[in-house]
Structure 1
Amino acid sequence: MEKDGRRHVVWCLNGKNYASWKFGMKLALQSVELWEVVNGTQRQPAERRNADQVIENAADITNWNKRNTTAMQNIFGAIKEDQSRILMSCSTAQEMWMKLETEYEEDAADNAPLLWTKFYGCTFRPSQSVSSFLTELEQIAFRLKSLNIAIDDNQIMAKILMSLPPEFRVFAFAWDSTPVAEKTLKKLTTRLIALDKSLRNDEEAKSTSDTAYLSKPNRDESQHKEQALPAQYGQNKGKSHPSSQHAELNAVNTNAGVREKEKKRTEKGSVTIDMTEEMINYVSSQEQLADALTKPLAAPRFKYLRDKIGVRGVGEV
Structure 2
Amino acid sequence: MSPSPVFPAQDPDYAFAMDATPTTTVRINKFNGTNFHTWKFKMQMVLEERELWEVTSGEVKLEHCTTTADQATFKRKSRKALAIICLAMEDSQLPLVRSAKDAHDAWSRLEGHFEKKSLANKLFLRRRFFTTMMDEGDDVLEKRLGRLMAKCKVIDLGP
**Greater Rg, structure 1 or structure 2?**
1
**Deviation sequence 1:124-164 (CA, Å, 0-9, x none):** 43xxxx8xx28x6256414423432x358xxxxxxxxxxxx
Alpha-carbon distance, 1:37 to partner: 1.3
User: How many percent identity over aligned positions?
Assistant: 21
Is 1:137 equivalent to 2:145 in the alignment?
A: yes
Alpha-carbon distance, 1:97 to partner: 0.9
**Deviation sequence 1:180-225 (CA, Å, 0-9, x none):** xxxxxxxxxxxxxxxxxxxxxxxxxxxxxxxxxxxxxxxxxxxxxx
Contact 1:145 1:151 in 2 (8 A): yes
Contact 1:37 1:67 in 2 (8 A): yes
Contact 2:33 2:93 in 1 (8 A): yes
Query: What is the match of residue 116 of structure 1?
Result: 129
Question: Which ranges in structure 2 are unaligned for 5 or more consecutive residues?
Answer: 6-15, 19-26
Query: What is the match of residue 20 of structure 1?
Result: 38
d(CA) in 1 for partners of 2:34, 2:95: 16
Question: Which ranges in structure 1 are unaligned for 5 or more consecutive residues?
Answer: 49-56, 153-317
Contact 2:126 2:155 in 1 (8 A): no
d(CA) in 2 for partners of 1:4, 1:143: 33
Q: With structure 1 as the length reference, what TM-score do the two structures score? A: 0.36
Alpha-carbon distance, 1:103 to partner: 1.0
Query: What is the match of residue 24 of structure 2?
Result: none
Contact 1:37 1:94 in 2 (8 A): yes
**Structure having the larger proportion of residues in helix:** 1
Read off the aligned partner of 1:67 and give its amino acid letter.
K
d(CA) in 1 for partners of 2:63, 2:74: 8
Count of residue pairs the alignment pairs up? 136
Alpha-carbon distance, 1:47 to partner: 6.6
Assess, with a 3 A threshold, how the Cα gap between structure 1 residues 7 and 124 changes in structure 2: closer, same or farther: same
Assess, with a 3 A threshold, how the Cα gap between structure 1 residues 151 and 64 changes in structure 2: closer, same or farther: closer
Assess, with a 3 A threshold, how the Cα gap between structure 1 residues 116 and 45 changes in structure 2: closer, same or farther: same
d(CA) in 1 for partners of 2:98, 2:89: 12
Query: What is the match of residue 30 of structure 1?
Result: 48
**Deviation sequence 1:44-86 (CA, Å, 0-9, x none):** 24575xxxxxxxx221111111111111111111111111112
Secondary structure of the residue that 2:113 maps to in structure 1?
helix
Aligned partner (choices 7, 32, 50) of residue 17 of structure 2: 7
Higher relative contact order (CA 8 A, sep 6+): 2
Q: With structure 2 as the length reference, what TM-score do the two structures score? A: 0.67
**Structure having the larger proportion of residues in strand:** 2
Contact 1:4 1:74 in 2 (8 A): no
